[in-house]
Amino acid sequence: MPMLEPSDLHPAVFLDRDGTLMEEVGYCGNPADVRVYPGIPGALEELRLAGFKLIVVTNQSGVARGYFTEADYYAVHAEFLRQLQPARLDGTYFCADDPDHPSFRRKPNPGMLLEAAAAHHVDLSRSFMIGDRGLDIEAGRAAGVRTVLVETLPGDPQLQSQPDAKVKDLVAAAEWILRNRS
């Protein structure tokens, strides 16, 4: 396999889903509960036009806990993608593992980000992670990307390290990234 040159690598924005791109409803297994936050499609398109790959990385322990099936997850995902239009994602990675049995893929571990970075030729040094919880920030730090916490939920007591920025929502996060990408 040929080595990639630095010029072959792309910056990315890794995105948490629930509470970051769409309303947090707690173990979303029903497409009727999907509500993408206002302004998200436009903000994602601005990031794409600036050259970023857009990759969702989401913990979905509701599958392992038996709250919903993997088929339910995919039905929710299809509705989520429909509501994101005209924006589109370059990839989506989910981890269904139970938090009582942590894995390298489950945030706060960086596995999903590293897997996506390899598959999509991502330059982690020029990339960002946006999320609403400490788990997202920790995963981003562990993967070597800059991190942005969206404060769409009340304070997270599990936030152990400080993000590079705290903003009110993903629209503000996209604006911050576009100002601080170099």
- As annotated, the active-site residues are 16, 18
Condensed to tens digits (0 to 9), the pLDDT of residues 56-108 reads 999 998 788 878 888 999 999 999 999 999 999 999 999 999 888 879 999 99
Q: What is the mean pLDDT of the chain?
A: 91
More confident position, 19 or 7: 19
Residue 3 in this model has a pLDDT that exceeds 70: no
pLDDT for 5 equals: 63
User: Measuring CA to CA, how many Å separate 38 from each of 78, 124, 152, 172?
Assistant: 18, 28, 12, 12
Looking at residue 158, what is its pLDDT? Answer: 61
- Percent of the chain whose pLDDT exceeds 90: 75
Q: Tell the residue number behind the tokens 């919880």, with chain if given.
A: 133
Cα 170 from chain centre = 11
- One DSSP character per residue, 155-166 reads --TT--S--SEE
* pLDDT reported for residue 153: 75
Provide the token pair at 160.
Answer: 């152990």
| Confidence label for 6 from pLDDT (cuts 50, 70 and 90) | low
Cβ–Cβ < 8 Å for 152, 178: no
Select from 139, 117, 115 the least CA-distant residue to 127: 117
**Domains, the chain:** 6-179 (3.40.50.1000)
> What digits encode the pLDDT tens for the residues 130-158?
999 999 999 999 999 999 999 987 666 56
